[in-house]
Amino acid sequence: MSTSIETVEREKIDLVALKKTNINVVVFGHGKVGSTLIEQILDKHLSLWKRRDLNVKIIAVVNSTKLLLRPDGINKNWQLEKHTYGTRYSVQTIIDFVKLHEFEHVIAVDNTADDNIVHEYTTLINAGFHLVSSNKKGNTQSLQFYQNLRKTLQVNHKKYLYETNVGAGLPLIDTISLLHASGENITKIRGVFSGSLSYIFNTFGNSNLPISEVLSRAIKKGFTEPDPREDLNGNDVARKLLILARELDLHNELKDVMVENLVPKSLRNSSKEEFLNSLFYLDVPYKIKKTNCRKGNVLRYVAELSGNLAKNDGANLAVRLVEVAKDSVIGQLKGSDTIFEIYTENYDKNPIVIQGAGAGAEVTARGVFGDILRLSEQIKN
C-alpha cells in the first residue's frame, strides 16, 4: 500500500513540474555582482517556483579559468564545488553541455567587464541562448558589431536584455526605448550617470573634506572600481552615454564622446598602488575648482546627449565636470544616486526624471535578476 501511495505522490509532483517553465541560466563572471546575483537566484528559487511557475536554475558558473557544470542546478556550495570539480573553461564546452542535456530556454548572463566574452555573443545566440548582460562592452563596440548583433538576435528569435548597462536597476533603457518606439521626439538626455562619481561630488560639495578623503571613503564603501581611475577617467560614463544614443538609433561611436578625464596626467600611467598613495595630489586642484564655483552652485560630473536627434547621423555627446545650481534637480542629488533627465517635444520644460541608487553590487545584481525574470516571463508566455 505504501508503495502505491508513494507512486501517486510522485506522479502528482511530476504533474506539477510539467506546468513549470524551466529557465536554465549560465552565469559568466562571479565577482561582486555575479556572486551576489547567484545568491539572489538561489534564495528566490522556491518563491519563483510557487508564485510564478518558474523553475530558474543555474546550470553553469564560469570565470576566465574554470567552469562548473551542474545539470540539476548549483546549490549553496557552488564555490567549493567549482574550486574542487571545476573544469577548464571554453564557450564550446558550455554549448556541448547544453546540447547533451537538451536544455531549452537557456539564458547566458554576462556579469564581466570582458571584451572576450562579448565577442562570443553571436556564437551563443546561434547556439540557442538568450542574453542578459551588465557588461556595457557588448553595446559599445563598433556600430557594425552592434548592428550585426541585432541581426543575429532577430534571425534566431532571441532576446538580449541589458537594463543595468545604464542606471543599475533603474527602468531607464526601457523608458527611452518605449518613448522612441512610440514616436516621442527625444531632444536631449542629461544627468549624473555614475553612482560612484555622484557620491564623490555630492559628499565633496556638502562637506569640508578634501577630495582625497572623500575618494578614500568611496573606495571603502565599494562604490568605485578597485582602481578608482576607471571611474575618474570618465570612460564608463561615456559608454553609458553611447548606449543611450544607440537606443535612439543614432550612429555614434565611442570616439565621438567628448570626455573630461578627472585624473591628473601625472597620475594616469602609474601603478594602482602608486595612485592610491598619491590621492593627496588631487586636493589642491579640486579645492580651487570648488572655491571658484559661483555662489549657489555645486560641482557635478554630468553626461549630456544633444543635437539634431531627428537625424540618425549622430548626436553631440559630452561628459564633463560642470557647475549646476545647488537647488536644481541635479544639484540636490544625495548619496550615490544617479539621475537622468529626458527632454522631449512634449516634455521640454519639465523633463521626465528618473532617479535612484546607482552604485553597489546588490543594486546591480538585483537589476540583472530583474532582466532574467522579465525574459523568463516573455519565454513563458
- Dist CA 317 CA 140 (whole Å): 14
Would you call 113 helix, strand, or coil by DSSP? Answer: coil
What does 109-166 look like in DSSP terms, one character per residue? EE-S--HHHHTTHHHHHHTTEEEEE--GGGGSS-HHHHHHHHHHHHHHT--EE-GGGT
Strands (E) across the chain are located at: 21-28, 54-62, 66-69, 87-88, 106-110, 129-133, 160-161, 186-192, 257-259, 297-306, 316-325, 337-344, 352-357
Q: Is the dihedral of CA 135, 199, 326, 233 positive or negative?
A: negative
Tell me the three cell numbers of residue 326.
545647488
Active-site annotation, residues = 240
β-pairing verdict for 257-259 and 316-325: parallel
| Bridge partner residues of 182 (DSSP) | none
Distance (Å, rounded) from C-alpha 1 to C-alpha 124?
50
Residue 47: all three cell numbers together: 518563491
Which residue in the block uniquely carries the three cell numbers 545647488? 326
